[in-house]
Structure 1
Amino acid sequence: MHQLLRYLIALVWLANGLLCKVLHLVPRHEAIVARILGPAHAGVLTRLIGLGEIGIALWVASEIRSRWCALVQIGLILSMNTLEAVLAPDLLLWGRANALFAVLFCVLIYFHSLRPNRLSAR
């Protein structure tokens, strides 16, 4: 179960990074970046963010420094979703309700990697 969850978490990062941003299959992502960081370089910045998300997917799959990886993920998810909810709620798939899915994903990451009894088993 632990390994399956790890790969599912990595898959979320990979899909968002590669499919949505690098391959530009979901143009809404670039529109969000343009709204938050400005339209001048939104295409390049969106692809760079996507490459970063692919890197996180690889980091999750590797299990290297998994505690730090989980903390980075949770920090990024909460900060990205807060910015998006405040500055571009109309561009989000479920509007401000996206925050609910972000928090649920953070809870999954927490219970998978950070819960106290999980850490003592390592």
Structure 2
Amino acid sequence: MLHRVLRYALAAVWLTMGLGCKVLGLVPRHREIVARILGEEFAGLITIAIGIGEIGIAAWILSGFRPRLCATVQIGLVAVMNVIEFTLARDLLLFGAVNAAVALAFIVIVYLTERTRPCSPR
């Protein structure tokens, strides 16, 4: 039961960030971060592409396909994304320097979700 709740919660985060914040542009700060890091010219399109990728991760989580790989990809993406953002766009982050702690908490939840996954019968 705990595993299922964690999976749905993680998928909801990825879906919200991807669809709401990036594809629909409900949080313009995300596009501003992309523009700061990758340049203004294609920031809108790149932000939408990142959002579509995040929606894909939400679908992957819900599919249950290769869950260990899915968790590894999530952890890697969150870690790399946060290092880049912290280095190049710290002033645009919602929680500023505390963003690192939020990212670490998310990574821990992803890890624990994988660890609580019921073993599949062989």
Does TM, normalized by the shorter one, top 0.5?
yes
- Which residue identity lines up with residue 72 of structure 1 in the other structure? V
Structure 1 position 121, deviation (Å): 3.0
In structure 2, the partner of 1:73 is: 74
In structure 2, the partner of 1:62 is: 63
> Which structure 1 residue ranges, 5 or more long, are not aligned?
none
Cα distance in structure 2, aligned partners of 1:96 and 1:51: 27
Query: Kindly, what percent of the aligned residue pairs are identical?
Result: 55
> Is the contact made by 2:3 and 2:117 (CA closer than 8 Å) also made in structure 1?
no
Secondary structure of 2:25 counterpart: coil
Q: Which has the higher contact order (CA 8 A, sep 6+)?
A: 2
Secondary structure of 2:27 counterpart: coil
Structure 1 position 7, deviation (Å): 0.4
- The TM-score with structure 1 as length reference comes to 0.94
In structure 2, the partner of 1:84 is: 85
- The TM-score with structure 2 as length reference comes to 0.94
Q: How many residues align?
A: 119
Q: Deviations over 1:30-74 (max 9, x none)?
A: 000000011110000000000000000000011100000000000
Structure 1 position 4, deviation (Å): 1.0
Confirm whether residue 24 of structure 1 aligns to residue 22 of structure 2.
no
Cα distance in structure 2, aligned partners of 1:14 and 1:121: 26
- Which residue identity lines up with residue 97 of structure 1 in the other structure? V
- Which residue identity lines up with residue 5 of structure 1 in the other structure? L
> How much is the aligned-residue C-alpha RMSD, in angstroms?
1.2
